[in-house]
Structure 1
Amino acid sequence: MDRTQGGAPLLALDAVVVDTETTGLDPRKARIIELAAVRLSAGKLVDGDSFRQLIRPGAESIPAGITEVHGIDDAAVAAAPPFADVWPRFREYLGAGIVIGHTIGFDLAVWRRECEEAGLPWSRPRTLDTRLLAEIAAPKLAGYSLEKLATWLDIDLAGRHTALGDAIITARVFLALVPQLRDHGIRTVAEAERACRALTAVLDDQVRSGWAEAVEPPSRLDAERTLRRYDAYAFRRRNRDIMRTPAVFVTPDTPISQAVGRMGQEKISSLYVADSLGASEEIKAVDAGILTERDVLRAIDRFGAGALELPVRQIMARPLIAVPADAFLYRAIGRMSRHKIRHLGVVDERGHVVGALSARDLLRLRAGEAISLGDEIDDAQDAHALSVAWARLPHLAGALSGEGLSGREIAEVISRELGALSRQAAVIAERTMRESGRGEPPVPYALVVLGSAGRGESMLAMDQDNAVIFAHGDPDGPEDRWFAAFGEHVADILHQAGVPYCKGGVMAKNAAWRGSVATWLSRVDHWISRSNPADLLSVDIFFDLRAVHGDAALAMEVRQAAYDAADGQTAFAKLLVDTVRIPGSLTLFGGIRTEGGRIDIKSAGLFGLVAAARAMAIRYHVMDRSTPARLAGVKALAHASESDLDALMEAHGVFLDLIVAQQIEDAAHGLPPSNAVAIKPLSSRAQDRLRAALEAVAHVDDLARDLLFLH
């Protein structure tokens, strides 16, 4: 049984939906007379993929009253096989995945009893119950029979009271419940299970009626849950760490013989090709091509020795497939695997080629199955596919934690993939705009992520923080209206994929978070020269922005202008510091204040630390995005309070370690990830680290003010 499915999204679930017809309603006596099932794949009902089999219930007759319900009488099952012959085929159809049914506890009870009677091995599948899910989604509904749910959800009742018909209706009910459950914050299998287990009165009634438990207790799931192991190296090192520089270029007219000589001279297995051979940093990957040793060998095989006199353009591949320099190595491995290639270009934020990577460079890495996560996101063509890929993230985070990665390192991986998810949502949104007749983007633009995603500090409890910067156009002009509709699509796709809407409205679909370069520069001027504390509740995260799709140069231009405008504006930086609030989280005797046994570490210290580091970075014109890099930059420039700044860097790592570990644990138990960490389970060492971190941030606002006016 696959016990890694707790994080699977309901939106894109692979499952089997079942129904059982019996000789009666008491599971302690009833015999099975029909089994049926249909399959869900990626959250969609698979047409034509079904199982249906009548079963002979031994010597027992089918009561007339029961026959009136489902239409099956003794004659109908007289030639049918017994349960013992059918069950192995049915169990094979169920597979190792999730099984869904309406009042599934009844089905489980009769399945188990029949297996025991037939001397067959029994192991219960992991299950979800549409009856329980419906009560969670609509607690005030008059009733939860399959008829009532189908009527409420406007589902056709054709085939009712046949096993196959009821399985199909149940499948459609489940799919219709998914968006209803999402509105209640329930997105994954584990979250659905936990919510179902809270319906104790309903579950108790079912058990008293002889039904099996509709949802498995968490202790059993935990005991059997296993984590695959991943090579952590590929999640710690970035492409820039091992890329070869400079990338070697030739022109398309270069004879292949000369290109081969150049490869031998440089001791490399590929050359990049560009029309103009300026500095490689000025050549974009989209304008470049590549020639490899294998291309040359194939040309010789095809054309003979004369191939060496052909120009490179005749056998090169274009465009050059590339990866960002600051992306992690698992991204490069996954991209090579997907494209079945052995060479990649490496590009900077502007898309300019800055280096080269080959399979030889990566040979010593063994990144395992997790490397496919990034390219699964890049390959996704709709919200369902994005959801499938994104749902692997909590499992991956747990595996990386088991490999010894720090919370800070795991947060960087999460942030990079959140950026990739946002980028692919934009790609899908662009296609949707085209297909709806809205056409291509009217002007160049950049989709940017803000806040923790921009800083590389996202964790599993996240929502959307994004914005759009476009080349030109007035507010509410034709360009702005195009991007407003585009932003709606991006927000909806991300929400469906598992990244909820931002409660504070920081999304490109909202007018305040999109605009032309000129509009953004005007906003920046207002923030810096005329803002008040009320204006700064969310605009400070703008300084964390990072482009994830489109023309990154636009984003870099606006971010650089914002830092330039803030240069020397200590009043603005002071306003940012004035928004920092550090609550007292330690008692007089050094105890940790908790609520319900937990402490919200973001509120207790992380938020204030991040905000203060950002304000100091703006004051000292430190362009780094991550909090540790900002603190290090301020330390290098201020030459004061160095031990305090070191303590803040350490505190930041402690906070991320504890929050990430707690979120991984909560996600495994179906709890929505939060920033609240349970204190009692922490070791004494971990509690000591937390106390020291809370002490370090207790006066971060005063430290920031001192450093703002140091020079």
Structure 2
Amino acid sequence: MQAELVDIRNHMAQYPPFDEMTEELLDRVVGDIEVVYFKAGSQILELGDPSSWLFYVRSGAVEIYRRTGELYNRISEGEVFGQFGLLMNRKVRFPAKALEDVLLYKIPYDTFQYLWENDDNFADFVEIEDRSRLRSAVSRREKSNQLMTSKVTRLISREPVSAPHTVRLQEAARIMTEHGVSALLLMDEEGDKPLLKGIITDRDLRTRALSEALASETPISEIMSEDLITIRSNIFIFEAMLTMLHNNVHHLPVMDGDEVRGVIALSDIVKYESQSSLYLVSNIYHQQDVKGLKKISLDVRDSFVRMVNEDANSHMIGSAMAGIGRSFTQRLLALGEEKLGPPPVPYCFMALGSMARDEQLVVTDQDNAMILDDSFVPEEHDEYFLALAKFVSDGLAECGYTYCTGDIMATNQKWRQPLRVWKDYFTDWIDNPKAEALLNSNIFFDLDGIYGETDFAEQLKTLVAEKASNSQRFLAMLARNALNRTPPIGFFRTFVLEEDGKHQKTFNLKRRGTAPLSDLIRVHALACGSRAQNSFERLKAIGNTKLLLEDDLGNLRDALEFISIVRIRHQALAIEADRQPDNNVRPEDLSPFERSHLKDAFQVVSGAQKFLKFRYHATVARNV
């Protein structure tokens, strides 16, 4: 093959759909190519003209227009255009114009047709638009992981074993032994049909019965768990796993309405979940001191990498990592109470930011706070809570969760206040949305009560949901603030990189990717009065209100998933190479597939920000 053709072949082999093409097919394409050049401003395709070529951009940039004259897309190196006319009636459907001097490879219709008939990947690529390709890329990854494609009913291997909730302790133990089960469902049989009343596990028998030497005739109702966590029978296994992680439970009744289909246990999920995040959480609660927690914290990154390598999606990974971080915090709080004694007044420990959203990764710091009971008296009680907060914060730092540089931690007295003060904080932030209030909104409006009187946190969520949705001024200011971080995509669909500092020639996938998405999703969710915290769950809530079209919601979900998973893979690769993981990516370190679809995803973010600006009149927020 001539040197010029080798150069063409090597270039095209970097970009989809040619990157997955067989050598034989790619050689045929290269052999049929014509090379053409257009000066900036030249018309390449006119609406309605005969369509005979697929165009591949070697260098430069091209603008694609709708038939109305409205700009449809800008494409650059490694991208193709002209396919829709070839697929339809051999007439140009989207006019094209050279935005700058452009070098193109022309692939003739006969070659295009041959590829379309003989290469399914090529056919899929040219038949769908950019955002559909993004959705396809996300879907293809998720389908490769059984946790995300298998329903939880697949784990049910037997009929549920149950007994009346009135049985005695000895009888309950006998039934469990006879049937060889680690959990017994306890039913209320007084109505027309039995209803699930509670559950008892072998762990309960050890910790609540044997350790306290309860009599064999003790009613089982005295030690059964009544505040049940259950799951629906139509959910996926990974959702069951996340429920276990979030609630630190080892058994989940599976329900069809109010009928019990079965019970799944931790051991059932581990058959599928080789990442061991559930076992890691279990081990956290068995540690007796900070030294033990620090030792097993070394397993967190290994668990993260295994999840990435087994094609878990970003929701699953983020939730699992948040569950692990939440468990470290909860165990430290319990150890702190053992050391300092019982708290003088009730309190709730809040997780904030990515942990509260279930979107935590391995590069993370601490964001937390304390809500104290309104009976709190600083002079009498604060010494205890400061000591507890410091014990937890120092312990988290030992386990790899760095101190917050902005001091958003319970060790800061400002963020260790009674419930009434917290309600005043949130009310003031919404009623008077100044710069500091907006910054606090971005941090504190993602909150989760993870220990103690968690109802305190639920009261704050309710307050936010009710007040924010009724304050157009606050929403406008928050939307305006959400536009400050833009995706790193330039006018010509090229990546915009840092120009100086230690991260030059990179872009930050958190600051310029996932964070802008989380910010704009938060605004829409607050406008809808949603109490959801996770970005994917917020999108579901937004969809229920019809604030956004289903296609737009789908595009946002896909963009969030793809940007997140590229960020996650970047961190996993750094860990495997014994480098410190971060969020700063060099374009040349990405595969052509990732580069192409990241551009699609960033364009979704850019479009969503434009709608945000329009929807909430963000540009005139100061005058609202």
Structure 2 residue 526 is matched with structure 1 residue 618? yes
Specify the SS of the correspondent of 1:454: coil
1:512 aligns to what?
A: 414
Match in the other structure for 2:37: none
Query: Is residue 357 from structure 1 mapped to residue 271 from structure 2 by the alignment?
Result: no
In structure 1, the partner of 2:330 is 423
What residue ranges of structure 2 are gaps of 5+ in the alignment? 1-143, 232-237, 499-503, 619-624
Secondary structure, aligned partner of 2:308: helix
Change (3 A) 1:606 1:358: closer
Among 521, 529, 538, which residue is 2:423 paired with?
521
Distance in 1, Cα, partners of 2:230 & 2:532:
16
Shift of 1:511: 1.9
Deviations 1:64-103 (A, max 9, x none): xxxxxxxxxxxxxxxxxxxxxxxxxxxxxxxxxxxxxxxx
Does residue 1:631 correspond to 2:536, yes or no?
no
- Matches of 1:621 and 1:462 in 2, distance apart? 28
Task: Show the counterpart of 2:124.
Answer: none
- Deviation of the 1:249 alpha carbon: 6.9
Q: Give the conservation status (yes or no) of the 8 Å contact 1:533–1:575.
A: no
Which residue of the partner structure matches residue 411 of structure 1? 318
Q: Does residue 493 of structure 2 align to residue 590 of structure 1? A: yes
Match of 1:49 in 2: none
SS of alignment partner, residue 464 of structure 1: coil
Q: Which has the larger radius of gyration?
A: 1
| Rounded Cα–Cα distance in structure 2 between residues aligned with 1:498 and 1:472 | 33
Contact 1:650-1:693 at 8 Å conserved across structures? yes
Partner of residue 695, structure 1: 603
Counterpart AA for 2:438: L
Matched with 1:68 is none
**Alignment coverage as a number of residue pairs:** 445
Alignment of 1:264-343 (within 5 A): 270-272=184-186, 289=200, 313=218, 318=223, 320=225
1:624 and 1:355 map into 2 onto residues whose CA distance is: 28
The letter for the 1-side match of 2:186 is: Y
Please report how far the alpha carbon of residue 616 of structure 1 lies from its aligned counterpart in structure 2 after TM superposition: 1.2
**Partner deviation per Cα, 1:105-133 (whole Å, 9 max, x = no partner):** xxxxxxxxxxxxxxxxxxxxxxxxxxxxx
Check the 8 A contact 2:476/2:617 in 1, yes or no: no
* Aligned match of 1:214: none
> Is the CA contact 2:314–2:568 (under 8 Å) kept in the aligned structure 1?
yes
In 2, Cα distance between equivalents of 1:282 and 1:709: 50
User: What displacement does 1:485 show?
Assistant: 2.1
* CA distance, structure 2, for counterparts of residue 238 and residue 511 of structure 1: 46
For residues 320 and 608 of structure 1, what CA distance do their matches in structure 2 show? 42
After TM superposition, the structure 1 = structure 2 runs for residues 470-509 of structure 1, keeping only pairs within 5 Å, are 470-474=372-376, 476-509=378-411
Aligned match of 1:604? 512
SS of 1:577's equivalent in the other structure is: helix
Pick one of 282, 288, 296 that aligns with 1:381: 288
- Name the structure 1 match of 2:578: 670
Provide closer, same or farther for how the CA distance between residues 592 and 383 of structure 1 changes in structure 2, counting only shifts above 3 A. Answer: same
Tell me by how many angstroms 1:445 deviates.
1.8
Q: 1:691 to 1:281 in 2, by over 3 A?
A: farther
Deviates more, 1:456-465 or 1:580-589: 580-589
Deviations 1:533-560 (A, max 9, x none): 2222133332221122222222212211
| 1:681 aligned partner | 589
- Shift in alpha-carbon separation, 1:521–1:574, aligned structure 2, 3 A: same
Q: Which amino acid aligns with 2:380?
A: P
SS of residue in 2 equivalent to 1:455 = coil
CA distance in 2, matches of 1:379, 1:232: 30
Deviation string for 1:501-528 (max 9, x for gaps)? 0111111111222222211111111111
**Shift, 1:565, TM fit:** 2.3
- Give the CA deviation at 1:613: 0.8
Structure 2 counterparts to residues 62-211 of structure 1, below 5 A: none
> CA offset at residue 289 of structure 1?
4.7
- 2: CA distance, partners of 1:450 / 1:571: 24
| 2:450 aligned counterpart, secondary structure | strand
Q: CA deviation at 1:261?
A: 9.9
Aligned twin of 1:95 = none
Is structure 2 residue 300 aligned with structure 1 residue 398? Answer: no
- Supply the distance in 2 between the matched residues of 1:417 and 1:514 (Cα, whole angstroms): 24
Q: Secondary structure at the match of 2:449?
A: strand
Contact 2:507 2:586 in 1 (8 A): yes
SS of 1:621's equivalent in the other structure is: coil
Cα distance in 1 for partners of 2:349, 2:153 equals: 24
Residues 1:429 and 1:254: Cα distance change in structure 2 (over 3 Å): closer
Q: 642-651 or 620-629: which moved more? A: 642-651
Distance change >3 Å, CA 611–CA 360, structure 1 → 2: closer
Q: Residue 427 and residue 686 in structure 1: after superposition, are their counterparts in 2 closer, same or farther (change >3 A)?
A: same
Q: Secondary structure at the match of 1:585?
A: coil
Q: CA deviation at 1:584?
A: 6.0
CA distance in 2, matches of 1:680, 1:334: 36
2:470 to 555, 568, 574: 568
How far apart, in 1, do the equivalents of 2:387 and 2:317 lie?
33
Which amino acid is 1:592 matched to? F
Query: Which residue identity does 1:514 align to in structure 2?
Result: R
Contact kept in structure 2, 1:322 and 1:346, CA below 8 Å: no
- CA distance in 1 between counterparts of 2:349 and 2:150 reads 26
Secondary structure at 2:543 match in 1:
helix
| Equivalent position of 2:78 in the other structure | none
Deviation (angstroms), 1:464:
0.4
Distance change (3 Å), C-alpha of 1:564 and 1:320: same
Residue 660 (str. 1) matches residue 568 (str. 2): yes
Alignment deviations for residues 363-419 of structure 1 (CA, whole Å, 9 cap, x no partner): 893444724211111112222221222221221121111111123321221111111
Distance 1:625 1:664 in 2: 25
1:570 and 1:709 in contact (8 A); partners too: no
**Structure 1 position 483, deviation (Å):** 1.8
Q: Provide the C-alpha distance between the structure 1 equivalents of 2:527 and 2:349, rounded to a whole number of angstroms.
A: 26
Provide structure 1 residue ranges, at least 5 long, that are not aligned to the other structure: 1-230, 300-309, 349-353, 435-439
Q: Secondary structure at the match of 2:463?
A: helix
Residues 607-660 of structure 1, C-alpha deviations (whole Å, 9 max, x = no match): 121111111111111222111221232233134454333322211111111111
CA, structure 1 residues 588+470, in 2 after alignment: closer, same or farther (shift >3 Å)? same
Deviation at residue 492 of structure 1 after TM alignment: 0.7
For 1:259 and 1:392, locate their aligned partners in 2 and report how far apart those are by CA, in whole Å.
Answer: 36
Per-residue CA deviations over 1:546-586 (Å, capped at 9, x if unaligned) read: 12222222221221122122231121122211212133622
Measured after TM superposition, the shift of residue 661 of structure 1 is 0.5
Distance 1:584 1:368 in 2: 35
Contact 2:543 2:553 (C-alpha < 8 Å) held by counterparts:
yes
State percent identity of aligned pairs: 19
Distance of aligned partners of 1:358 and 1:494 in 2 relative to their CA distance in 1, 3 Å threshold:
same
- Deviation of the 1:273 alpha carbon: 8.2
If the length of structure 2 is used for normalisation, what is the TM-score?
A: 0.61
Structure 2 match to 1:171: none
Q: Aligned partners of 1:363, 1:565: CA distance in 2, in Å?
A: 40
TM-score under structure 1 length normalisation: 0.54
Amino acid at match of 2:290: A
For 1:665 and 1:381, locate their aligned partners in 2 and report how far apart those are by CA, in whole Å: 33
Measured in 2, the distance between the counterparts of 1:609 and 1:332 equals 25
Q: 1:421 to 1:522 in 2, by over 3 A?
A: same
- Structure 2 letter corresponding to 1:520: W
The alpha carbon displacement at 1:235 in A equals 8.6
CA contact (8 A) 2:347 2:453 kept: yes
- CA–CA distance in structure 2, aligned partners of residues 367 and 584 of structure 1: 34
- Are the structure 2 counterparts of residues 697 and 393 from structure 1 closer, same or farther at C-alpha, using a change threshold of 3 Å? same
Q: Which amino acid aligns with 1:518?
A: R
The answer on whether the counterparts of 2:167 and 2:219 sit within 8 Å (CA) in structure 1 is no
* Structure 1 residue 683, shift from structure 2 partner: 1.6
